Structure 1
Amino acid sequence: MRFVSTLTCPACGFATAETVPDDACQFFYDCKGCGTRLKPRPGDCCVFCSYGSVPCPPVQADGKCGGGQ
């Protein structure tokens, strides 16, 4: 299980390493480069699954999100 993911903003391309929460999905993330509020893409459970180099722990473990999907 990996708990650090590089989030890349689709608006400005800014990338930063962030800690992936192991107990909940993270629905919002404010880009540290341009301030855009990132939300999961349709079909994704969290911002890490949409914009991260590593998805959330439930998806890493079994390919499914534990956050209600």
Structure 2
Amino acid sequence: MARPGVGRRLPARPVRRRRGDPGADRRTLTNGRVNIKARQRMITQYAVASAADGLVVGTAPRQFPTY
């Protein structure tokens, strides 16, 4: 017979994410969630952003954008 509080752990509460929150996408990318398509999208976006002179996805537009 199992003792209370020993054995099976309850899952952590899911984090509520706002739409369009770049931090949420970054967390999905870094903390090992299973959402592979979102992770691949973010990896692509950050690769493109780093190639485009350090432009960071989700930030305000630069004063003199380079297209």
TM-score bracket for this pair, using the shorter chain length: under 0.3
Structure 1 or 2: larger helix share? 2
TM-score, with structure 2 as normaliser: 0.27
Which one scores higher on RCO, CA 8 angstroms, separation ≥ 6? 1
TM-score, with structure 1 as normaliser: 0.26
Larger Rg: 2
Structure 1 or 2: larger strand share? 1
